[in-house]
Amino acid sequence: MKKDKKENINKENEPRLQPITDILETNFMPYAMSVIVSRAIPEIDGLKPSHRKLLYTMYKMGLLKGDRTKSANVVGQTMKLNPHGDQAIYETMVRMTRGNEALLHPFVDSKGNFGKQYSRDMSYAASRYTEVKLSAICAEMFRDIDKDCVPFTPNYDGTIMEPVMLPSAFPNILVNASQGIAVGIASNLPSFNLVEVCDCIIAYLKDRDINIADYLKCLDFSTGGYAIYDKAELESIFLNGRGRVRLRAKYNADKKGSHIEITEIPYTTSAEAIIESIIALVKSSKIKDITDVRDETDITGLKITIDVKKGTDIDKLMAKLFAKTPLEDYFSCNNNVLIEGKPLLLGVKDIIDYWIVFRVECIKRQLRYDLAKDRERLHLLLGLERVLLDIDEAIRIIRNTEMESEVIPNLMEAFRIDNLQAEFIAEIKLRHLNREYILKRLDDIKDLNNSIKEAEETLKSRTRIENIISSQLMEIKTKYGQPRKTEIIYEEQMEEEFEEPAFEDYPVRVFFTKDNYLKKIRDIDFKQDVDNKFKNEDILLHEATSHNGAELVMFSNKGNVYKSKLYQINDCKPADFGEYLPNICELEKDERIIYIAITDDFKGNMIYLFENGKGAKVPFKTFWTKQNRKKMLNAYFMGSKLLYLALLDEKDESSYVAITSDQRALIFKSTDITIKDKRDTQGITLIKLKSGTKVTEMLPLENARLKDVDKYRPVNVPAVGKVLSDKDKKRKQVSLFD
């Protein structure tokens, strides 16, 4: 009996096993959602909760106007909304200050040492020593907040109401950079120039079809430097919310060429990281022209000084430093934003759309607030108007009423007004019972009627509300706009330094298959009488003879181009299947390579033929870049299905045929297609299509197996084509990508 009891006790003390899925759902998921929704990801006003709580606290403290106060006072008051430690709150404030220089348009006007965005080791002073107030631009963040333009919610203990979002009369989410790391999701929002953003949205409100890139030239950061213009990456940021922009430091050299001064650096790095990387290069003897490097940052701003040997080519040295140190770095955009409590990856265009919706609702709420106040005021004045018609009677009623409590009922009965109107009349001072006061109140009635009518019409008109947004943005741009801090440079303006790694160059044979295998075989290992193996049912699409130092250019079905040197691809034996390109190129889901070209000089033209009957021809040199880029976006037009592409010799005059779904054919030459310099051009129309039809085949004439060839040659291109003859209708359809 005792033994059984002891066994039961032991079983009770054993830990209860739970499925890991239950633990994740009950413990981890609520925490993860809390971090995503309530801490790390900004909302459409561009603020995280910690920033919003701190700024609203300063606003309620009256720090939008007046003198600065000690930072410690603000930190203490913020704890009423943000129950975190004082150090965490103070660190949040530091990044928003003018002194820290982390934001293009700082929210906090500061006095004292707040460290620097560009320095890793420069510590900020304690909160008891520094002073702060709100910057002038915060007036736009709080515009009309006291007019119920945004919803409010109770704070953590239910004692104070705080705004769910700030009204943000300008798109702060695009103007000030923001970074956040949540659980399983991160956000890295870039900053753009305020003037460019305002101009862009004003134009967008007039015409939704504008090209955003015409207004937002490139990213703009508080640390200045250069942004290297990359059209494809910027378009990806504008449309998809992801992409990266190359940033480069700004430098100048003295006339004697004895030293270099770095005065502006990429937003993503620090002076200490740059100095450490330069020292490491010098110690490893990879750079021998530098004699000393030191940080000379002072009250005037950042300065890194590099002493160099006499006769050093400064431009070539800087090109090496850009290639090997954080003097050149990337800002990777990851535009995750909370929209109605859900994290969404948004392109800049989507952010603008959501911000406009947000501002429209703010203005509607503000108009409804003002409208309710005007109607309330009008209601009181209409009661006063009735009384003013016989003011002597009102005075007589008040004078002859014995009980004070009966004054209101007697006025209500005599003039047929309600309680609110009677209270308002009874409170009028005796000194106001004169002609001037009476006439002014009657004029107020007229003004209020006009104001109410105007507000009601505005509330019904989206166009009017958008005009208000435009006028506010124009006002903000004029008042707070500033020139770009980050200058834009283009690839052709730059000196690049790329060291080709040592490799053995030798003749090779290259084979590319439909299943995306690439086989590179040394020419000495390739024997005609040895079986060259491929996977079962795989088809050889391309075979070429080249050398190990040539460049491999690969086109994908997603409109991207991937580049690699042949020496970076492993050598294979004839018995091998080859290298699987999706692994080498890190292709996206459902992406595959559809064509390869091997080149040394990027001579020739790429020809593209599309399902919509159009063809494009682009110089192959458009895919050459100074820097060693492995991926290029928007390699060709994606608005119609691609049926054929190939690299042609510059003097090529080959003939091609287009065959339509309604059994018509047209033969044209490559010379009929004009050359365009834009990689993703849609080209020109080659065959005119009837409604509801499309091109089913576009291919070289010799591959089409047509019998009546002369029948399908038009006098001029474009043309409608000729109906296929009976014997040509029986031919087997050929497709490059099936």
Reported as type and span, the H/E element at residue 596 is strand 593-599
How far does CA 46 lie from the centroid of its chain? 12
CA distance 326 to 611: 46
Contact in structure between 195 and 481 (CB atoms under 8 Å): yes
CA distance 86 to 74: 10
Q: How many CA atoms lie within 13 A of 12 on its CB side?
A: 6
CA distance 123 to 116: 8
Task: For residue 597, give the amino acid letter.
Answer: A
Edge-to-edge strand ranges of the sheet holding 605-610 = 642-648, 605-610, 614-619, 684-685
What's the start-to-end Cα distance of the chain, in Å? 78
Set 31, 56, 118, 129: catalytic member? 129
Q: Clarify whether 517 is annotated catalytic.
A: no
Question: Which residues of 298-430 form beta strands (DSSP E)?
Answer: 304-308, 328-334, 336-339, 342-345
Go through 477-514 and write b for each residue having 16 or more CB atoms within 10 A of its CB, e for each that does not.
Answer: beebeeebbbeebeeeebeebeeeeeeeeeebbbbbbb
Tell me how far CA of residue 562 lies from CA of 57, 244, 330, 642, 667, in angstroms.
51, 17, 20, 18, 32
Q: How many CA atoms lie within 13 A of 394 on its CB side?
A: 25
DSSP state of 624: -
Contact in structure between 146 and 152 (CB atoms under 8 Å): no
Q: Choose among 166, 162, 145: nearest CA to 153.
A: 162
Alpha-carbon torsion angle 111, 114, 119, 121, nearest 10: 130
Which residues are the active-site residues? 129
